[in-house]
Structure 1
């Protein structure tokens, strides 16, 4: 009687999605010869032993925790390490949301960005990275570009402050975006000459509104919109991508845990799974993660299933849509759907006639 549990699993995930969104995980890669361990996880900043790190690296970890993530994973490398391969290999099978490398050299920025993009494309990992002055055009790369960030007696360069930004993004709930997030501790910055142009170019920047320093608009580095609509303007929003990633992870992990190798691939069982996903979407509408006024629904991908049978040598010309749905293809489950993720209010056009 295992199948009905899929509804319970999805219900639980839907009910906790808002809470889980502010419990993201930060991963840092730090070069340091003080300790001898390779990896360490901290759930609380008080657990960090200063004897394990140089003052600079201990400060990066503390900055990540200021954003209130649920956990900070640190991958340590010897200062003689010529690249980040060992740390990235260890991270590949761990779960985290945002990666930062506070002491990264310019030449390595592209290496980290490519690793993130490859793991998303090939391994279904929902990794993202905050990188300094990253010349990227991708929704999983946050291109942070503000420099000379003064906090007390210390002035951080762009790369060093990525740990703080990663912590902020990991700790934000779906009830708000990073846009205009205030950094109370920051006293001054080198201001971007044209903030609007920078945001349009996919840069995450800090701005000075005359009273406080805050994040400009919560955008990632994506600039190019695809003509077929697979990546529209919504993909530029950090918040939208975070919601998309969590929904992806919930559906993928539930299918992997509850269905793969356990349930026969027949139409009736596919319908049970689809109905469970749609109830999950309904709960996300209630929490306004998905737009309650839009059609958020999963379904069997009739075109893809028909194409699979055709490619296998079957003539489906006389099959109507229902027959295609009911004729499952081997071990494959072909699903499609539409969702509309809600973003926060950030722009106002208000014309008043007098």
Structure 2
């Protein structure tokens, strides 16, 4: 991993990109796509204690093989919420369960879901020296093979066949003994977070309610954002972190107290840099508790809470904000807007990627090299301005200069993020 993060002085050791975001005193890089969410899972099927990526298309087409349940199953409700907007998920099953088995096969993954698998063996109607071996999940046929002996069976998405078994006609033998693991603790969540350090994502989903685990996610977010330069936001439930990298969902749902964390994580990850989730209609499946007075909504916003409220018969996002509530000269109130953070994170990630790919160890640190970097940054800034994510860039205000040693360059890139309209103040003059 390259070095990265913020800097106080030019004293870094590792090669990399060190970028500070501060509020201005009140006086050929591409804009990368968004939509990736990192999510820890406690399901009863799927790869265990390892990170795996699933696109929205894969989820819709292959969720049975990947997660063990059909798309519409209640067990997959949290994932349907994530993929309401997310384009890709980086998933990690926190706890390994016990694998179900019978005389012919062992479930590919541990967990109680393996007990729903059944193996049916029948004589092949065209060749009685062979057997038709069928794998069922619930009542759905998911695999069928014709073989002479068990040694010819090929493992499928659901079972690992016992190649030394003796095939015999059976109406169906269910796998048994499958069990879920223990409730995940901070240790399992720490392992998940460590695994995520080698993956790219825009939002980290923290679907927990205990304060100690939430504190772990906050510390992880601060460390990676501020020290490693990895720019993302973490969505969690009712956590006053006072930090621009943490979004705190306030509302509960009837079905699951912290259920809205999943929808919010997907919506925040997929939200473009020139857009906002403010006033977005909640279109998920949970029943949202949103009975607030105007005073409660106002106080919630001041406290940095991401809240949903009723507008007629709809549930909508009140304001697209994070938990930052104490402002400084370096981090003004602007930093509490998630749209502002999306713009700044996009700049940090894209410029760092461009520098690491095109300049680090490749381009001499001379006038020509620095002019090339300046041109790329100006071009990138103009692209952001073109999609109305930032105000128009003044090229003369962007500087790329030699740093304090022969290997370093210092960049000043003033930007003014644009936020979508939120408030209307109008005076109607009656003639």
Task: Give the TM-score category using the shorter length.
Answer: 0.7 to 0.9
Superposed CA offset, 1:179-208 (max 9, x none): 010013455414234101101111000001
Aligned to 1:145: 250
Aligned ranges for residues 1-354 of structure 1 at < 5 Å? 9-10=28-29, 13-14=30-31, 17=32, 20=33, 23-37=34-48, 38-44=50-56, 45-46=59-60, 47-49=62-64, 52=67, 58-67=76-85, 69-78=86-95, 79-80=181-182, 81-83=184-186, 84-147=189-252, 149-150=253-254, 155-157=255-257, 159-185=258-284, 188-193=288-293, 194-226=296-328, 228=329, 230-292=330-392, 297-300=397-400, 305=403, 308=404, 329-354=405-430
Cα offset for 1:39? 2.3
CA distance in 2, matches of 1:63, 1:50: 19
Distance in structure 2 (CA, Å) of the matches to 1:191 and 1:163 = 21
For residues 82-112 of structure 1, give each alpha carbon's deviation from its aligned partner in whole angstroms, at most 9, with x where no partner exists.
2211111110110001111324423311111
- Mean CA deviation greater in 254-263 or 281-290: 281-290
Deviations 1:95-149 (A, max 9, x none): 00111132442331111111011111111101211010112011110011111x2
Which blocks of at least 5 consecutive residues in structure 2 are unaligned?
Answer: 1-27, 96-180
1: distance between equivalents of 2:320 and 2:90? 24
- Cα 1:294–1:352 shift into 2, 3 Å: farther
Shift of 1:57: 5.2
Q: Which moved more, 1:94-103 or 1:181-190?
A: 181-190
Asked if structure 2 preserves the Cα contact closer than 8 Å seen for 1:298 and 1:338, the reply is yes
Instruction: Please give the alpha-carbon distance, in whole angstroms, between the structure 1 residues aligned to 2:200 and 2:223.
Output: 16
1:320 is matched with none
Residue 165 of structure 2 is matched in structure 1 by: none
**d(CA) in 1 for partners of 2:379, 2:47:** 49
Distance 1:136 1:27, change over 3 A: same
In structure 2, how many angstroms separate the alpha carbons of the residues matched to 1:296 and 1:338?
Answer: 10
How far did 1:247 drift?
1.4
| RMSD value, Cα | 2.3
1:268 positional shift: 2.4
Deviations along 1:299-322, one digit per CA (max 9) or x if unpaired, are 0368xx4xx4xxxxxxxxxxxxxx
Change (3 A) 1:87 1:179: same
C-alpha displacement of 1:290: 1.2
- How many residue pairs match? The answer is 305
Which piece of structure 1 moves more, 174-183 or 44-53? 44-53
Distance 2:66 2:364 in 1: 55
Q: Looking at CA atoms only, which structure, 1 or 2, has the larger radius of gyration? A: 2
The separation in 2 between residues aligned to 1:51 and 1:253, in whole angstroms, is 31
Secondary structure at 2:368's aligned position in 1?
helix
- Structure 2: distance between partners of 1:60 and 1:188: 14
TM-score by length of 2: 0.66
- Tell me the equivalent position of 1:321: none
Q: Higher helix proportion, which one?
A: 1
Distance 1:205 1:296 in 2: 41
Query: 2 CA distance for matches of 1:178 and 1:221?
Result: 15
Extract unaligned runs of 5+ from structure 1: 1-8, 309-328
